[in-house]
Amino acid sequence: MGSLHLDEIRLTHVRVPLVEPFVISNGAVSEKDAILVELAGEGLTGLGEASPMAGAFYSHHTPESSWAALTGRMVPRLGELGTVSLDGRWAEGLLDDPFAVAGIDLALWDLAARAAGAPLWSLLGGDGSRPLESGLAVGIVESTEALLERIDRHLAADGYRRVKIKVQPGWDVRPLEGVRGRFPALPLMVDANGAYGREHIEALAGWDRFGLMMIEQPLPREDLEGHALLAGRCRTPICLDESAETVTDVERALALKSARIINVKLQRVGTLAAARRIHDLARDAGAGCWMGTMPELGVGAFAAMHFATLPNIRYPTDVEASRRWFVADVTRPPVACSNGLLSLPGSAGLGVQLDGEAVERYRVRRWSARLNCALTF
């Protein structure tokens, strides 16, 4: 057990241009917004990232709403409590904005790991020697030919271990036929972001012929019963993403047999403690997990990589090389992928530092406040 006095918190909202638009069934973005969190205490600094998507097309949370939650409610909560720990209890009553919570929670864990002189994965109970496989995600594009060209290009550059394509009604069977025709043995999955309804269950079950790893979030987030119906009609495993928002949601989904795979997103569940609980619930139910992203910048991406060392993370993560999505990243080092494998830094905590020049180049606004509280770990 250890303790550390927290002196200051610094928030920096950055906006980094994307290499190409990120397009899913619910919308598109061409820039990546993130709020970088720096928690300072006793000469050490822990890093966190609050990373909602701009435009509220993944959820109703936005960079603006998370900024307001951080400055107006969450930072004051730290002062009110006086002492915080890594169990996530400090965030009780604040999880209406899990992205903002995730920014502070990750900084707390990173700071604790740095103080302990240990990599973050060791505090989480992971295995840093595990190979971390990376998977390619490709959004909705203008044609099957364009989709195949992007898959070809990125597989050649970084050797990703599986491919995920985004689908929606009207953009599903034809691209799947195209990908399977070009890559018959490629580990392949699809992600619908809740774009289908129960009226599509028979058609979705027919995708068994494509030999998919999984169908991710085919139905709306609230329809766990519909996912259970679909899961009973097809051989392809169903994966939940948006539906797996809280520990309670995952408990109910597993009880209903709505899915055999859970996508764990640290930003969506808010705290690493909650993410670990979801990992353990899935393990105990015989379901697998994998790490999703928003995608995050380097701070959030490295956090997901550390979490991916846990034993029930069975599938390649959505964390990709920084150069896949961003014109530049905000960490030194950036995320790198070689032959489909990601590399964790060997130093304490997340193992990365902020790239001050990049942060300043893409800075939108900055805010800081003095703190007078303690972190116990």
32 catalytically annotated: no
Tokens (6 digits) for 70: 């951080």
265 catalytically annotated: yes
With tokens 């393990």, the residue in question is: 283
Q: Is the separation of the CB atoms in 178 and 151 below 8 Å?
A: no
**Which residues on neighbouring strands pair with residue 190, listed in sequence order?**
165, 215
Among 343, 299, 375, CA closest to 32: 299
3-state SS, the chain, equals CCEEEEEEEEEEEEEEEEEEEEEECCEEEEEEEEEEEEEEECCEEEEEEECCCHHHCCCCCCHHHHHHHHHHHHHHHHHHHCEECCCCHHHCCCCCCHHHHHHHHHHHHHHHHHHHCCEHHHHHCCCCCCCEEECEEECCCCCHHHHHHHHHHHHHHHCCCCEEEECECCECHHHHHHHHHHCCCCCEEEECCCCCCHHHHHHHHHHHHHCCCCEECCCCCCCHHHHHHHHCCCCCCEEECCCCCCHHHHHHHHHHCCCCEEEECHHHHCCHHHHHHHHHHHHHCCCEEEECCCCCCHHHHHHHHHHCCCCCECCCECCCCHHHHECCCCEECCCCEECCEECCCCCCECCCEECHHHHHHCEEEEEEEEEEEEEEC
Give yes or no for a cis peptide into 220 (omega within 30° of 0).
no
Angle at Cα 227 formed by Cα 306 and Cα 174, nearest 5°? 85
Among residues 32, 164, 257, 265, which one is catalytic?
265
Catalytic residue positions? 166, 265
